[in-house]
Amino acid sequence: MQKHYFIIGAGVAGITAAEQLRRGDAEASITVINGEDYPFYRRLSLSTYLQGQTTLEALTVKQPEDYEALNVTVLQDRVAQIKPNENTLVMASGETHNYDGLIIATGGSAIKPPIPGIDLNGVRLGYWDMKDTLWYEEIAKANNGNDAVVIGGGVLGLELADCFNQAGLKVTIVQLGATLGEPLTDEVSGEILLNRVKESGAECRIGVMAKEILGDENGNVRAVVTSAGEEIPAKAVGICIGIRPNVAFLQDSGIELVNGCIGVDGYLKTNFDNIFAAGDCTWVSSGNMVGYRPNRTWQVATNQGTIAAMNLQGMQHPYDEGLFYNAGVLYDLPYTMLGNFNPDPNDESCQVHTYDTAGDPFAHFKLTVSEGRLVGAMLLGRQRRTNILRKIMEGNFIITGHEHELMDKKFKPKDLPVADIQTAGDADVEAKLAAYASKG
Ligand SMILES: Cc1cc2nc3c(=O)[nH]c(=O)nc-3n(C[C@H](O)[C@H](O)[C@H](O)COP(=O)(O)OP(=O)(O)OC[C@H]3O[C@@H](n4cnc5c(N)ncnc54)[C@H](O)[C@@H]3O)c2cc1C
């Protein structure tokens, strides 16, 4: 009998899941519910559009004809309620749909802080979707040379501040946390970011809160008041203090939530056998992430979409988060974080090594070593040897004696006892290590 699959959310997790479901069943009916007014686009590249480096067309990944080719139906609507015991979706439009299998891939959206004045004209909550991006584009055009404030100095706030800065606005970032770029940064990289922001002409207020947003007599924003009592002028304000998973519509559904996310097992299954979840809305209990959970990245959402779909169709494919990996830009500096990139300073099992940046004041290379193995990397400003470091970590190689050479172009991983360690049994490993050590 033909199966009816529904996927909630047309982001990367949802669309990848739809593609996988089709690969697994040529006959099934597959419906993706798109809660946005735009076809699937590269969310992670929105800033390249704001910075004029790409077009809306180039950001769009799937056009209607692509769905036709996949034989996937797209419904423009939002799910208001799930009734898992009846296998029913209740839509915002009032329609209802029945499913045999369901994947929830609803991603996240901006956290709304209780700041008075948040609804004034010229203030935008969040930088997450196409609507936000087009709004920022318009306000930036209308305010060239004027003041702007970005509330929040995390990844998205910094990205928005860079876009405003490049569009010719005079930007001030108001960051409550102790460093810019938290939670990805340490003290050194936070300082580098701060210097970089200042050098580009933007300003920063660190360790202060936006207390109130002030408007003029026409309801237009005019300033942001901080907890330090400063009034920062602003014709445009963007608020980026964090993302929370889109799970409000699941209240009372019986689908279990964990830490405000959808709780899933090691196969991405919820507490209902025919409901799986994928992407930014999930909390994976079997993850291998260090110090930064949940892992909200494009790649993780893609992998989860594929595996949730495979398992919904009866496979038993365990989801393995693998090595923690996050890459992007902090303000305008590229970064990559791998594994235990920012170990607890009190963790005596970890040694941290920093590396020469050849005089680049906006670069920072830091590696974490534990028990003779490379377990983490933080690369800010310039990306050096990312793939090699990743391979060394994934291969679980012994790097003892080579800690200081790892970032050196001349150093080749083949100098490590790689294949031996990977393929040998424990006793053999000991023998090979001894032989390796004796080679000096
Ligand atoms: C500006 C920006 C820069 C980024 N940069 C990077 C980067 O450099 N590297 C990186 O790895 N990641 C980056 N990300 C994060 C990355 O884009 C996300 O991790 C990824 O898009 C998550 O995919 P998803 O499918 O889980 O959720 P989403 O992409 O959020 O998609 C979920 C979809 O579900 C819809 N939805 C929600 N509720 C409902 C409902 N009830 N009914 C119907 N539809 C609903 C939403 O409207 C949305 O369209 C960035 C994100 C942004 C915004």
Structure confidence by residue, pLDDT tens digits, 218-257: 999 999 999 999 999 999 999 999 999 999 999 999 999 9
Mean pLDDT computed over 69-88? 98
Ligand 1 atom closest to residue 15's alpha carbon, by position in its atom list: 25
Residue 356 in any domain: the answer is yes
| % of residues, the chain, pLDDT over 70 | 92
Mean pLDDT computed over 34-43? 97
Mutational pocket test of ligand 1: of 106, 127, 164, 383, the residue with most ligand atoms within 8 Å of the beta carbon: 106
pLDDT at position 290 over 60: no
Ligand 1 atom closest to residue 133's alpha carbon, by position in its atom list: 1
Helix, strand and coil content of the chain, in percent to the nearest 5, comes to 30, 30, 40
Q: Return the residue whose CA atom lies nearest to atom 33 of ligand 1.
A: 9
Q: With contact defined as beta carbons under 8 Å apart, do 236 and 125 qualify?
A: no
**Interval 375-410: pLDDT, tens:** 999 999 999 999 999 988 888 888 888 999 999 988
Same domain assignment for residues 255 and 194: no
Half-sphere exposure of 354 (CA within 13 A, CB side): 10
Domain that holds residue 172: 123-241
Q: Which residue has the tokens 């940064």?
A: 185
Same domain assignment for residues 178 and 252: no
Distance 38 CA to ligand 1 centre (A): 13
Residue 317 in any domain: the answer is no
Q: Which of 87-96, 125-134, 425-434 has the lowest mean pLDDT?
A: 425-434
Q: Which one has a higher pLDDT value, 340 or 273?
A: 273
Q: Which residue has the tokens 């791998």?
A: 338
pLDDT at position 361 over 60: yes
Residue 326 in any domain: the answer is no
- What was the pLDDT predicted at 130? 97
Residues with CB under 6 A from ligand 1: 8-14, 33, 35-36, 43-44, 46-47, 78-79, 105-108, 127-128, 156, 159, 246, 249, 279-280, 296-299, 301, 328
Residue 321 in any domain: the answer is no
Same domain assignment for residues 138 and 233: yes
Contacts with 220 (C-beta within 8 Å, 6 or more apart), sequence order: 120, 121, 122, 235
- What was the pLDDT predicted at 263? 93
Distance 107 CA to ligand 1 centre (A): 5
Which residue, 210, 241, 272, sits at the end of a domain? 241
Same domain assignment for residues 103 and 249: yes
For residue 360, give the CATH number of its domain.
3.30.390.30
pLDDT band at 426 (very low <50, low <70, confident <90, very high): very low
Half-sphere exposure of 99 (CA within 13 A, CB side): 27
Residue 45 in any domain: the answer is yes
Residue 399 in any domain: the answer is yes
pLDDT at position 115 over 80: yes
Cα distances (angstroms) measured from residue 316 to each of 106, 153, 267, 311, 319: 23, 41, 7, 6, 9
pLDDT band at 413 (very low <50, low <70, confident <90, very high): confident
Mutational pocket test of ligand 1: of 268, 280, 321, 332, the residue with most ligand atoms within 8 Å of the beta carbon: 280
Same domain assignment for residues 21 and 57: yes
Same domain assignment for residues 68 and 149: no
Q: Return the residue whose CA atom lies nearest to atom 12 of ligand 1.
A: 297
Closest alpha carbon to 124 in 235, 253, 264: 235
pTM of the model: 0.93
Q: Distance between CA atoms of 30 and 37, rounded to whole angstroms?
A: 20
Same domain assignment for residues 385 and 408: yes
Residue 318 in any domain: the answer is no
Which residue, 198, 218, 241, sits at the end of a domain? 241
Residues 185, 186, 188, 191: what is their CA dihedral angle, to the nearest 10 degrees?
Answer: 50
Mean pLDDT computed over 163-188? 96
Cα distances (angstroms) measured from residue 345 to each of 187, 335, 350, 372, 429: 12, 21, 8, 18, 31
Domain count, the chain: 3
Give the number of other Cβ atoms within 10 Å of residue 346's Cβ. Answer: 6
Q: Return the residue whose CA atom lies nearest to atom 51 of ligand 1.
A: 44
Mutational pocket test of ligand 1: of 50, 261, 298, the residue with most ligand atoms within 8 Å of the beta carbon: 298
For residue 96, give the CATH number of its domain.
3.50.50.60
Residue 268 has phi, psi (to 5 degrees) of: 70, 20
Mean per-residue pLDDT of the chain: 92
